Amino acid sequence: MSDDAFADVPREPGAAKPEPILVADSVRRSFGGLTAVDVQHLEVQRNSITALIGPNGAGKTTFFNLLTGFDSPDSGEWAFNGTSMNGVSPYKAARKGMVRTFQLTKSLTRMSVMENMRLGATGQTGEKLWVAPFKFLWKTQEDAVTTRAEGLLARFKLDHMRDEFGGSLSGGQRKLLEMARALMVEPEMVMLDEPMAGVNPALKQSLLEHVKGLKDEGRTVLFVEHDMDMVHEIADWVVVMAEGQIIAEGPPSFIGANQAVIDAYLGAHQNTDLGV
């Protein structure tokens, strides 16, 4: 997949993509009197890295929660791979191939890194109550899951932490673990909520490579980020949200120069480095 896919896409909010994996229409969510999300139309291109940016309180995380079923909207429609996802519970959304991570990492602190990884695998027969007590029934599958987990841990350079508790990892390692664990689900689309927040600079570069690697594997990535350097480096397409609405779309170079985006950021916080 090359960046050409976006060659003919107009650089405007709600632009149609040649091969959308996710399409959202009129998604609204308000808390009390405050409208947190009001997205008219959004398409996410398959096998691309799309960044969702915007000032604090723009509704990015809420939008993420809505798409993945962790929150329900007041109104709106959205479809993943052509299937409507309205009212689909979070676990079903994950099984359909949309797997998300969280802004505040949710590494399972009193489970080992390996157990964290194994948990991610889907379709485990040993997760059925009637099968679970009989180890010989799930042993083979467990071994296969473990092998796959070991491969991923090695790729994310966490293999030396294999038997440590999730709680003993550093902030950056937790981000890595969460991403690796999400991959155990084998999702078509990975949704990362601020993958760089709280990660030390030394780890940042390897995280970036991992995100790029996801695309090379044929997956679609949608991520929320504040770090504009990262956006510039890896995103194929950038969607900008402010006050719940999508105010601009385009490739990273276009967004940096967009007046609406600058206004939105300057209105919110003056000193943000837009990386222009």
Q: Which residues bind another protein (CB under 8 A)?
A: 31-32, 61-62, 64-65, 68, 70-71, 89-92, 94-95, 99-102, 106-111, 115, 118-120, 122, 124, 126-129, 131-135, 138, 142, 165-167, 181-182, 184-185
Nearer to another protein, 115 or 150 (CB): 115
Residue 128 or 160 having the CB closest to another protein:
128
Q: Whole-number minimum distance, CB 129 to another protein, in Å?
A: 6
Report, in Å, the least distance between residue 7 CB and another protein. Answer: 34
Q: Which is nearer to another protein, 181 or 210 (CB)?
A: 181
* Cα separation values, 203 from 51, 147, 159, Å: 20, 25, 15
**Nearest to residue 179, comparing CAs of 90, 109, 105?**
105
- Return the number of the residue (128 or 212) whose C-beta is nearest another protein: 128
Residue 64 CB, nearest approach to another protein (Å): 8
Between CA 190 and CA 3 the distance in angstroms is: 19
Q: Helix, strand, or coil here: 37?
A: strand
DSSP 163-227: TSBGGGS-HHHHHHHHHHHHHHT--SEEEEESTTTT--HHHHHHHHHHHHHHHHTT-EEEEE-S-
At residue 8, what are phi and psi to the nearest 5 degrees?
-100, 5
Question: CB 243 → another protein: shortest distance, Å?
Answer: 18
Minimum gap (Å) between residue 71 Cβ and another protein? 5
- Reduced to 3 states (helix: H, G, I; strand: E, B; else coil), residue 31 is strand
Q: 184: closest CA among 106, 114, 108, 111? A: 114
C-beta of 29 vs 204, nearer to another protein: 29
Tokens of 87: 């009212």
Shortest reach from residue 142's CB to another protein, in Å: 7
| Choice between 224 and 261, CB closer to another protein | 224
